[in-house]
Structure 1
Amino acid sequence: MAIQGLGTSIQGYHLAFCRIGDASWTALDGTLFPYRDLVYFSDHQLFYALSRYGLEAWDLRDPASPKSSLIIESLPKSREKITLFKYAYLAVSSSDLLMVNRFVSNDEPSYTVSFDVYKLDFLRKEWVYLSSLGDRVLFVGENYHSSESFSAHDFPAGTLIPNSIYFTPVDINDHYVAGNELGFFNLEDKIIYCCPFFKKRNQEVQPSPAWIDCASAVKLS
């Protein structure tokens, strides 16, 4: 399942899916168009699609009869200044469904200001603000829809900083916002740090950096 269509990423796209052996993609008529992000939640065997209007779930276990349901028809009020541009991601972390908001300045050149994270309470159907990710680490970026979550303890000591969000540049409206950024935001001290292999936070890199999940690549090979 994917977000696809014409237009710019700031506008969002439609939903579609394709099975192995299909000659073409099958469009889905969602109710919350335009969509911003999409993630598969294996615990529920459902796809969750995020838009600026809310969140909906898609059941594709019977591809001949896809079913959708509205989960929540609102997004939490922004905790940052309304003058900042907001870019939203979905992520599955352990057994939780998270929404990650990335706030970018309107300056030229633009830069990432901060992040905030919410967990979906499925029983109450509301987003709950998270002040900490514990030992978890999130990865977000232009190529990483949906965002990935790992435990920092699963990696050699000092490799990843717990309770942090690692990020790469994001393409908005056909040009890169925060175009040379590669760093991480720590939720405890609310500070953005440069990645250790960069001399400075906005060091120019071509082509734009991208995250690669080696574990998933091995599983697919």
Structure 2
Amino acid sequence: MPKAAPCVGSSHGWLAFNHLQNCHPYLYNPLMDSPHFPYIPLPSIETLPSFLAARLFKSDHFSPSPSLNTQFLISLYKITNIEEEDADELAVYPKDIDYFYVRRLVMSSPPSLPFYSSDSSSPGNDCTIMAIHSGSDSLAFCKPGDDSWTDLEGSLGCYSDLIYSSKNHRFYAMRSDYSIEAWDLRDPSSPKYQVFDSPDFCPGKLYHKFKGSYNFTFTNYLVESSGDLLVLRRFIALSVAETEFVHPRRSEDDVVNNINDDERENLFLQDDDAYWTLGFDVHKFDFDQSKWEPVDCLGDRALFVGSNHSFSLSTCHYPELMKNSIYFTDHFLEGFNQIYDGHDNGVFHLAKNCIKPYYPRRLKIINPPPVWVAPNTM
């Protein structure tokens, strides 16, 4: 596995990484048994419009053999809402733009192999890769073998997630206001898109349940399941030591005061830096009405979310999975710290409104955080 490279996506069995020294993204297939094609390079993020320049510098001028590193000059106007005349430029190092700069990367299909050609129009190269970049404000795409990323003009910014629908041959990008952009990139020279506004998104039962009881945030995920476009809102408790947070894997009928000390240590997080998933709510998008509708049951489906391209599996085909459930890995990038990192993983049962963790709570750090990898045969 690649070392010292943050994973920014997982799609069709391939993992996407950012190289920490030069910030060149690349694809890696951990399931491929051939030594010849484990990696596929992608265009440098220097080709994105917010990158103004790159320069080499010596890491330690006083060292007998200083190493050369790269520093990037970024336009803040391109990655913020600052007015152009007030915008400044920012010099950053590769380690500072790993998770921040490419927040999500998904593919329309697995790349064609063997991968010899640098010509993205070569026969069989149907794979299109789309990314949320520049924080969360822009979209860009490329094909394996391209020399540069193509920025998508017309994209509105503030994106929370991105998926590809093989049914509709569209990339769907969701904004923070829950509107949807549908992008058709089958003709790379002429991208087409449609916007579905959703002004009346309902906060949901869990939002009202947690509001006032916890200091929480939430992360949104798009998933295509049984032909429907779903949004999953993941509620994450912050600074849980301040609220003596009880992990929701226990039912509401449990009497916390009657548990023993070992159970209590597993239930209560003891650090202000701790965070933990409280639960999920689910909505389905009605394209005819352009609105989100609450979903109370996923049927026989199991959904998988995290830093991966979200996907859905049938528990009839995979009976070892729990139906009507959401399998999640730690994806709270803002919460990663030296005390807690990668620990927030589990299975959420929608009907029971409870979570079953993968690991004991004492395991505070799992670094790098786990990521779902779904072979393309699924």
* TM-score, normalised relative to structure 2: 0.51
Which residue pairs with 2:24 in the alignment? none
Which residue pairs with 2:130 in the alignment? 2
**Displacement, 1:201?**
7.9
Note the alpha carbon deviations across 1:174-212, whole angstroms, 9 max, x for none.
Answer: 7368741221100011001113xx234855323211111
Which residue pairs with 1:94 in the alignment? 226
* 2:169 equivalent to 1:45: yes
Indicate how the Cα distance of structure 1 residues 179 and 21 shifts in structure 2: closer, same or farther if over 3 A, else same: closer
Matching of residues 10-159 of structure 1 within 5 Å: 12-53=136-177, 54-74=179-199, 76-79=201-204, 80=207, 81-82=210-211, 83-107=215-239, 108=272, 109-141=274-306, 143-144=307-308, 146-155=309-318, 157=319, 159=320
* TM-score, normalised relative to structure 1: 0.84
| Matched residue type, 1:50 | M
Q: Which blocks of at least 5 consecutive residues in structure 2 are unaligned?
A: 1-128, 240-271
**Displacement, 1:123?**
1.2
CA contact (8 A) 1:41 1:47 kept: yes
CA distance in 2, matches of 1:75, 1:173: 28
Q: RMSD over aligned Cα, in angstroms?
A: 2.2
CA distance in 1, matches of 2:332, 2:171: 24
| Matched residue type, 1:65 | S
Note the alpha carbon deviations across 1:121-144, whole angstroms, 9 max, x for none.
Answer: 111111111001001000111x21
| Matched residue type, 2:280 | F
CA contact (8 A) 1:117 1:130 kept: yes
CA contact (8 A) 1:3 1:13 kept: no
Which residue pairs with 1:167 in the alignment? 328
CA contact (8 A) 2:341 2:364 kept: no
Paired residue secondary structure (2:316): helix
CA distance in 2, matches of 1:171, 1:111: 9
| Matched residue type, 1:101 | R
CA contact (8 A) 2:342 2:370 kept: no
CA contact (8 A) 1:3 1:35 kept: no
Paired residue secondary structure (2:352): coil
Moved over 6 A (4+): none
CA contact (8 A) 1:193 1:201 kept: no
CA distance in 2, matches of 1:105, 1:178: 14
CA distance in 1, matches of 2:287, 2:341: 33
| Matched residue type, 1:206 | N
Q: Which structure has greater helix proportion?
A: 2
Which 10-residue stretch deviates more, 113-122 or 79-88?
79-88
* 2:347 equivalent to 1:191: no
| Matched residue type, 1:193 | K
Identity of aligned pairs, percent? 37
Q: Which structure has greater strand proportion?
A: 1
Paired residue secondary structure (2:218): strand
CA contact (8 A) 2:346 2:357 kept: yes
Indicate how the Cα distance of structure 1 residues 93 and 169 shifts in structure 2: closer, same or farther if over 3 A, else same: same
CA contact (8 A) 1:104 1:178 kept: no
CA contact (8 A) 1:132 1:187 kept: yes
Which entry has the higher C-alpha Rg, 1 or 2? Answer: 2
Note the alpha carbon deviations across 1:114-162, whole angstroms, 9 max, x for none.
Answer: 1011111111111111001001000111x21x3110011112x4x2110
CA distance in 1, matches of 2:166, 2:190: 19
CA contact (8 A) 1:184 1:193 kept: yes
CA distance in 1, matches of 2:180, 2:363: 33
Note the alpha carbon deviations across 1:67-111, whole angstroms, 9 max, x for none.
Answer: 111112436232214552010011111211111110001223111
CA distance in 2, matches of 1:110, 1:19: 37
